[in-house]
Chains A and B, each alone.
Chain A
Amino acid sequence: MNESEFEFLRGFLKARSGLALPPEKRYLVESRLAPVCRNFQIADLAELIRSIRISRSLALESAVVDAMTTNETFFFRDKGPFDLFRDVLLPRYLTARTTTRQLRIWCAAASTGQEPYSLAMLLEDAVERTAGWKIDIVATDISTDVLNKAKAGLYNQFEVQRGLPIQLLLKHFTQVGDQWQISQKIRSRVSFQGLNLIKDFTALGIFDIIYCRNVLIYFDAATKSNVLARIANSLAADGSLILGAAETVLGLSDAFTPDPAHRGLYSKVFQAVETRPLSLQRATSR
């Protein structure tokens, strides 16, 4: 892959998904796109780039974005954000929403489903306290492939061992051949849908809690700021945002304030002014 092909790919990924591919990550391109070439019977990366440029095949474009997106996840990943949900956020909102008895949670980069299902398992443990409540978990991801896997709720032996306590495996999963499937009861607590964070997501409605972990790190600063502003506008006035351990709002958004007692937890302080996705702003200014 020559320099101009690499630059085209960077521009394509940025426009299509917001993914910023820095030059030092160039080594990833070959290993991640080689399987795409095989699947689409394309000879090499140069031909792949030509195909994207000429054919505008949505299937090929999606496959390239999927391959370049990191879908690393596991049950109860990092533990802290889930302890936070069980011990702080759930009690807080069960008190704050006693009038409406409704709670809406959004997992903004749900990948293969382990994060929303981990939250759903915690809700199942709190079933007596939440009787009569309507609690929605909306789980979104840009990749259709990972969402299909998430919806099926089928995980291999390696995946169910990563972060999932044995008692929860036995309680919520059944064995299907060599795999384990999460119960229908847990699956029914989560609704999955495809969503590209760089595009408008106001249709999802307003949420009380938003988990947006380990996705902003792949965006450049302008995209991060824009996504955070629109997330702020999708949060209730007293809503909570949870970011990944390596992520922050500092220097990117004034709409949130970090909770000094809980790493990764941010409270909304005011509505952000900017509400349109960057792509729409560019289109308007042309």
Chain B
Amino acid sequence: MKHCLIVDDSAVIRKVARRILEEMAFSIKEAENGEAALSICQSEMPDVVLLDWNMPVMDGYEFLTRLRRMPGGDKPKILFCTTENDIGHITRALQAGADEYIMKPFDKDIVAAKLQEVGLA
């Protein structure tokens, strides 16, 4: 079973993402900000992270930069999740080490397609 870490400060978004990913047979862990997510990654590195960009305490950009410097931190596929679709925003996330992006609100088909794109479905 593949492990997915959902990082988002919205409990509703986490719940929706959890429901979609559990249907795809992923095991799920949740974090409400980048700092909590890093602590989870230190104990167990997930296969994929659904990463919100704008969060309190530690945002997605800082989490991703720190994650990629951790031992084994290059392994998780990062799908960054955003409501902003401007090209500068997407480019910045890719430069920070994201593999794909997903626009919110989540659509099941798109989540499945993006997971397939990064080799996890």
Contacts and interface: CB of A to CB of B under 8 A. Distances in A.
A164 B107 CA distance: 15
A161 B110 contact: yes
Contact of B85 (A74, A163, A165, A178): A178
A170 B95 CA distance: 12
Interface residues of A, number: 15
A97 interface: no
Interface string B16-28: 0000000000000
A175 B86 contact: yes
A162 B110 contact: yes
Which secondary structure dominates chain B's binding surface? helix
B113 A161 contact: yes
Given A158-B107, A175-B86, 5 more contacts: A79-B116, A157-B103, A161-B110, A175-B87, A178-B85
A166 B90 contact: yes
Most chain A beta-carbon contacts within 10 A, residue among B85, B90, B91:
B85
10 contacts: A157-B103, A158-B110, A161-B102, A162-B113, A163-B113, A165-B117, A166-B101, A169-B90, A170-B87, A170-B90
A162 B87 CA distance: 17
Contacts of B116: 79
A101 to B, nearest CB: 33
B94 interface: yes
B44 interface: no
A178 B103 CA distance: 13
B100 interface: yes
A157 B117 CA distance: 17
Nearest to B94: A166
A49 to B, nearest CB: 34
Given A157-B103, A161-B102, A178-B85, A170 B94 contact: yes
B100 A165 contact: yes
Nearest to B114: A161
